[in-house]
């Protein structure tokens, strides 16, 4: 038991080291290209409702207070207090943006959250269709295909 516990710690340590290296590399590349890099704390972002503009607190392990949110998450869908369903990942990512940049992430233009689209990479269809044109030359690059989300 002791051996497996130490192996678990070793794997966790290795994963944290890889994550740290990735973050430092990403930060360097962003600064080099002039892109703003910000690490954002993301507690409660997947259970708070973006469309209902729920308050998103910062996690505090010392606090005994439990937070109440207006909607609920069921698998891949988030249902708001008005009964509107949106993709749960979109709700969470919008809340992370709202935590990082509150003045820029508002619910004014949020209709896109309830009508997402699926964008498939052109290579997705290479297994069905030949990438060569009928005359034998390599065909031109296909445009991404946008499908309505059902």
The model's pLDDT over 32-83, given as tens digits with 9 standing for 90+, comes to 999 999 888 888 888 999 888 899 888 888 888 888 899 888 888 888 898 8
Q: Give bridge partners of residue 78 from the DSSP assignment.
A: 73, 86
CB-based burial label for 42 (10 Å; 0-12, 13-18, 19+): middle
Question: For residues 62 and 6, is the Cβ–Cβ distance under 8 A?
Answer: no
Contacts of 142 (CB under 8 A, 6+ apart): 122, 125
Q: What is the pLDDT of residues 109-129, one digit of tens each?
A: 666 666 666 666 666 555 555
Q: With bands split at pLDDT 50, 70 and 90, how would you rate the model's confidence at 148?
A: low
Which tens digit of pLDDT belongs to each residue from 73-87? 888 888 889 888 888
Where are the chain's structural domains? 1-36, 40-111, 118-148
Residue-averaged pLDDT of the chain: 75
- pTM tops 0.75: no
């Amino acid at each position: 038991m002791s051996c497996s516990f130490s192996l678990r710690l070793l794997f966790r340590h290795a994963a944290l080291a890889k994550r740290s290296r990735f973050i430092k590399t990403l930060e360097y590349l962003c600064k080099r290209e002039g892109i703003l890099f910000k690490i954002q704390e993301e507690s409660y972002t997947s259970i708070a409702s973006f469309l209902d503009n729920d308050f998103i607190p910062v996690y505090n392990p010392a606090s005994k207070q439990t937070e109440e949110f207006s909607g609920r998450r069921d698998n891949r869908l988030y249902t708001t207090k008005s009964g509107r369903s949106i993709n749960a990942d979109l709700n969470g990512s919008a809340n992370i943006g709202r935590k990082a940049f509150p003045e820029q992430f508002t619910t004014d233009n949020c209709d896109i959250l309830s009508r997402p689209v699926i964008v498939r990479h052109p290579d997705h269809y290479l297994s069905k269709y030949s990438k060569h044109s009928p005359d034998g030359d390599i065909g031109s690059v296909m445009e991404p295909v946008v499908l309505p989300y059902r």
